[in-house]
Structure 1
Amino acid sequence: MKKVYVTPRSITKNRHPSLKRLEDANFKIILATPGKQPTREQQLQILPECDAYLAGIEPIDEEILEGSTKLRIISR
């Protein structure tokens, strides 16, 4: 099963209904702490196992990208 990390506060705070589409497409959704921007440490820990990243406004640096070898798409 493919995994997507979802971090925008507007989506995680109230579990936006559009996430159902991803679930219906057999994605496992990994939500950041609801209503909070993820820390760099959380990104470094979670992203290496993810195939997709629906990112909020948090910075995405070179180390995060280099460690995320399964990642195929990033969307903001």
Structure 2
Amino acid sequence: MARTIPQRELRNESAKLMDAVAAGETFVVTRHGEPVAELRPIQSVRKTFISPEDLARIAGAGVRIDREQFRRDLDAVIDQSV
């Protein structure tokens, strides 16, 4: 849940608030009592690195794809003509 703070607190306590955001907290900043901004941590969309353990787990799943069936499935939903 986001904590509401006035603009003055953001200005005066910015270093402390940035540490809190880095730790996962979210703040709604108000001006004259009206919400104007949200200060929150950036959420990573995807991992750019796969650990050796994760790679071994994924590779060991034993999932096999039938390439002919895969091609038929693609052809059924995608128009391949120009």
Common topology (TM > 0.5): no
State which structure, 1 or 2, has the greater radius of gyration over its C-alpha atoms: 2
TM-score normalised over the length of structure 1: 0.33
